Amino acid sequence: MAHKLISAARYSAIALATLVCALFAFVQIQQHLLRHRAEQLFNDIQAFQLHPSNFADLQKFQQRWGSHADYEGKCDITHCIYDVELTDSVDEFVHPNRESYREQFSWLARIYELIGGHADGIIATVRLDGDHLWGTEYDFTHYSSYGFLREFICFSPHLFPHGLIQSDQLRKGYAITRASNMGEVLFLHISAQTDPRDFKRLTALKFDCMTRIKPCVLASDIMPEVANDPFRGRDLDDNTLHYLFDCDAPTALFAREAENVAEIVVLDVHPDTNTYEVPQPDEARVRVLRKLNNAKPQAISSEWEVHLDDENLAPQSTSSPAVRSLIAGQRYLILFTQPFPGQEPGHLYLEPCSAYPATDAVFSEINKGIAMDTSGGGPWE
């Protein structure tokens, strides 16, 4: 009888060990496959960043990643926002609610982590408008029982005014911000004009966190150069209602990074007609006098409603010629992005540091900045 019990125990132990080894192998295979796809997707996203791209390039990208993709609205040569999401089907079964991963860490998820399983999610986005690259994003999130790490890389032809908040970042050619209240999150914003050495250094992601037995716990485990960069911007938290723009960098640098530059004359200024909980700056009805850079939809003599944000301007920005408000009858040079699809037609929304008096000195600085703009081919061509 004892012999039978020992044999049964032995067979049970062997069966259990075999099951654990099989589960471990299965999980590791899934993790390595996801890592391989994540690396391939990142290389493809970088290809958009390293060379001027158009809709034909996006179509090749669609052929490769269509089974993982989604897109908002229509996707054609005029406009497309194309998303690719990579996940592990095993992890989705183990823990479907990633938003509360740490708070609801189940026993099944704990076992999954002990055998090397990680909840990794990758979302890549390609944005095209008018057959030209509008920007790309690569969002990598690494969840574990320790919390989560999120590394977000945003690329656009120009930095300003896509969330740039400090003049030091403008001078350097890239922007980094960090949030640590809900995990550890790093945001890297680069452009076609970022120095190639900084581009390669900062975008060197370490994907081995996806296949380690023990999960990574620090952002520096994934993006060490970004986490330790001396030019990293200030940290953000939930209490940060808005970014503060610092206009103290030379005007030429803002012009270099601006997507569009135009000279306008203000026809009249009137209260904002929309209803908001927080009072908004006055609207200005303007006429386009001259296009200095791009500004394709803004035809000469066309009229636009312009909204200039002055609340997010840092109070120490006193040395810049940038204005806080527009005055009827005056001429200005404005720096702006094209209206996003779905925005109210005929309206332009200007960030701080985006409007300057049309003086000879400012014209000289603006033209100097436009001459420095290499976004047409990028510094890698």
**Rounded Cα–Cα distance for residues 151 and 182 (Å):** 13
List, for residues 144-182, the tens digit of each pLDDT value: 777 778 888 988 877 765 555 567 777 788 888 877 665
My answer on whether 109 and 222 are in the same domain is yes
- Which residue, of 236, 263, 290, is where some domain finishes? 236
288 Cα distance to chain centroid: 31
Domain CATH number, residue 255: 2.40.50.120
Q: pTM value?
A: 0.76
My answer on whether 163 and 103 are in the same domain is yes
My answer on whether 208 and 178 are in the same domain is yes
What the block records as the tokens of 86 is: 């990579």
Q: Which of 174, 152, 153, 178 lies closest to 164 in space, CA to CA?
A: 174
What is the pLDDT averaged over residues 24-28? 74
My answer on whether 226 and 129 are in the same domain is yes
Position 240 scores a pLDDT of 46
User: Which of the residue ranges 240-254, 260-274, 277-291 has the most confident prediction, judged by mean pLDDT?
Assistant: 260-274
Total number of residues shown for the chain? 381
**Rounded Cα–Cα distance for residues 222 and 214 (Å):** 14
My answer on whether 219 and 320 are in the same domain is no
Q: What is the DSSP letter of 238?
A: T
201 and 230 Cβ atoms separated by less than 8 Å: no
What the block records as the tokens of 156 is: 């656009």
Rounded to 5, what percent of the chain is helix, strand, coil?
35, 30, 40
Q: Is the pLDDT of residue 96 over 90?
A: no
User: Could you give phi then psi for residue 371, rounded to 5 degrees?
Assistant: -65, -25
What is the pLDDT averaged over residues 61-76? 82
Position 243 scores a pLDDT of 55
What is the pLDDT averaged over residues 124-135? 83
Range of the domain at 317: 251-372
What is the pLDDT averaged over residues 97-111? 59
Q: Is the pLDDT of residue 378 over 50?
A: no
Structural domain count, the chain: 2
Q: Which of 349, 356, 305, 351 lies closest to 334 in space, CA to CA?
A: 356
Q: Is residue 380 part of a domain?
A: no
Percentage, residues of the chain above pLDDT 90: 15
Q: What is the DSSP letter of 376?
A: T
354 Cα distance to chain centroid: 21
Position 377 scores a pLDDT of 38
Q: What is the DSSP letter of 205?
A: -
Q: Is residue 113 part of a domain?
A: yes
List, for residues 321-374, the tens digit of each pLDDT value: 888 889 999 999 998 877 665 667 788 888 888 899 999 999 999 999 888 887
Lowest average pLDDT, out of 25-29, 81-85, 102-106, 191-195, goes to 102-106
Q: Is the pLDDT of residue 230 over 80?
A: no
- Average pLDDT score over the chain: 78
More confident site: 92 or 199: 199
Residues in CB range of 183: below 8 A, 6 or more apart:
147, 148, 149, 150
Q: Is the pLDDT of residue 204 over 50?
A: yes
